Structure 1
Amino acid sequence: MNALHPPALTGGEVYRIHWVLGTDRLLAVCHCGAEHEFEDPVDVWEWLLAHPDGHRPFDDPAGRDPGEEAP
């Protein structure tokens, strides 16, 4: 693997970015199942590529967004 071909482009992990209709927001979906909304595309990629830091799969029993502090 080299810098010209990161895993997302070579059949490795799959990252998805969805535009949230009617908004200026982007929904990032990591290959681990974690999801988070962003306004800035740079922040989307920083979060996705930082896996697993700040990521919790969508089935997290606490139901919190990644990075959200526990009560």
Structure 2
Amino acid sequence: MSGSTGEIYRIDWLPGTDLLHGTCHCGREHTAQDPVEMWEWMLAHPRGHATGEPRGDG
């Protein structure tokens, strides 16, 4: 999904699990079972990205 400013948000389903893996446009990553939790995390940028959370490859 793309935001109004051109940022790209990516959410993938991890096959064989009930997990979703999201990557924010800033490169931060998050895993959750609940799609609502995942979107809330994505859309809370940067507030939802806790310090010390691993940064993705981009």
TM superposition score normalised by structure 1: 0.63
Contact 2:9 2:22 in 1 (8 A): yes
Tell me the C-alpha RMSD between the 2 structures: 1.9
**Greater relative CO, 1 or 2 (CA 8 Å, sep 6+):** 2
The structure having more radius of gyration, on CA atoms, is: 1
Instruction: Please say if 1:54 is aligned against 2:48.
Output: yes
- Please, which runs of 5 or more residues in structure 1 have no aligned partner? 1-6, 60-71
Aligned residue runs from structure 1 range 1-71, under 5 A: 8=3, 10=4, 12-55=6-49, 56=53, 57-58=55-56
- Please, which runs of 5 or more residues in structure 2 have no aligned partner? none
The structural deviation recorded for 1:58 is 2.4
In structure 2, the CA distance between the partners of 1:16 and 1:22, relative to structure 1 (3 Å rule), is same
